Structure 1
């Protein structure tokens, strides 16, 4: 049985952010950007989702929502 001795690649947080911004800011597809930078589309998709979550403003809740939560 042959073993695979492939090293796992690691990427800096800056690289991940810049790659995600390429998709978000330019509107290009995840696949197109992934092919260009040499990563798997699934990997880049996770980075894009993380960047979108990180840059979304926090949802502000109304007083009514807070009171209902406190009542529970």
Structure 2
């Protein structure tokens, strides 16, 4: 997005469309937000599973901290 916003037209293929139509830059942000949302969902599942495994590991080892 830095190249799109601050490129001063050096990269015409990834520049914003003037009014109508779409270019590559017009698709980057929605797809980026979608991938971030999917990654956050996976990260939350992984964090929850990690906490569960840590809890059971400490419990089954007899709280030897």
TM-score by length of 1: 0.28
For the pair shown, the structure with the greater C-alpha radius of gyration is: 2
Task: Using CA pairs under 8 Å that are at least 6 residues apart, name the structure with larger relative contact order, 1 or 2.
Answer: 1
TM-score by length of 2: 0.29
